[in-house]
Amino acid sequence: MIMAEVKIQIIYDNTINSQFEGTSLKSDWGFSAIVTTKNHKILFDTGAKFSILYENMLRLNYKPEEIDTVFISHEHKDHIGGLMGFLKKNPQVTVYIPNSISESKKKEIIKAGGQIIETSKITTLFDNIATTGPMGTDIKEQSMIIMTTKGAVIITGCSHPGIVNITESVKVLSNVYAVIGGFHLFREKEEKIKEIVDEMKNEGIEKIMPAHCTGEKAKEKFKEEFGNKYLEAGVGSEVLI
Ligand SMILES: [Zn+2]
Ligand SMILES: [Zn+2]
């Protein structure tokens, strides 16, 4: 039981949160977070390598068998790579996947014992947890929406459909309180980064935690522009709502 409504902790990221520097937590290209609510422990994405996911989980006091739900944003290796290893430790989970995921991957998950539920559109999954459903044209990706008393908290994997598009899509449900995850700006030019940061500023978000493929340059820009609304990501970082 936690005091907060929701706790979100980053388990896998390209960097280590500065509070955890010098500890044995490992960083690696990829993303995963654990969302703890009153009734559930949800693994959002699984990073690239299960060995790193597992070690970081244990060091942050999570056990695979405590997880009841897995939410996969998209099929890229840096998000789904740890899934098979995880299912070996705990196959008793419901795995929410975008229906765009390949048939071979779906079969693999079922064979490993996971119960899959495919998502196709913006919808509530259970309790206060919703999905945007698969968005985008090229690389389809779903983002998680956590409905809290302060508004929606969005968790993104890579934001291939565009972080602004994702944020906008959630507004049919609620105001957006926080956005956490990879924003995929690491290859963008400064001008484009500035444009996105400005657009996100217009969204009225109260907390922003750019992680993973956002890239260091874009992170700096978000930090500059969002001030005390900016939260530092990295393995170990947590958001309590
Ligand atoms: Zn990706
Ligand atoms: Zn990624």
Ion ligand 1, residues whose Cβ is below 5 A away: 76, 158
Q: Which of the ligands is closest to the CA of residue 74?
A: 1
Residue 85: Cβ within 10 Å count: 17
Residue 227 lies in a domain: yes
Residue 2 lies in a domain: no
One pLDDT digit (tens) per residue for the chain, 241 residues: 446 899 999 999 999 999 999 999 999 999 999 999 999 999 999 999 999 999 999 999 999 999 999 999 999 999 999 999 999 999 999 999 999 999 999 999 999 999 999 999 999 999 999 999 999 999 999 999 999 999 999 999 999 999 999 999 999 999 999 999 999 999 999 999 999 999 999 999 999 999 999 999 999 999 999 999 999 999 999 999 9
What is the pTM for the complete model shown?
0.97
Burial class, 208, CB count within 10 angstroms (exposed 0-12 / middle 13-18 / buried 19+): buried
Q: For the chain, first and last CA: distance in Å?
A: 14
Residue 92 lies in a domain: yes
What distance in angstroms lies between residue 117's CA and the mean position of ligand 1's atoms?
A: 20
Residue 234 lies in a domain: yes
Give the CATH number, domain containing residue 171: 3.60.15.10
Burial 140-156 (b: 16+ CB within 10 A, else e): bbbbbbbbbebbbbbbb
Residue 134 lies in a domain: yes
**Structural domain total, the chain:** 1
Closest CA to 14 of 220, 181, 193: 181
> For residue 211, what are the domain limits?
7-240
Q: SS3 string of 75-91?
A: CCHHHHCCHHHHHHHCC
Burial class, 58, CB count within 10 angstroms (exposed 0-12 / middle 13-18 / buried 19+): exposed
Q: Which of the ligands is closest to the CA of residue 29?
A: 2
Residue 16 lies in a domain: yes
What distance in angstroms lies between residue 35's CA and the mean position of ligand 2's atoms?
A: 18
CA 190 to chain centre: 24
Residue 1 lies in a domain: no
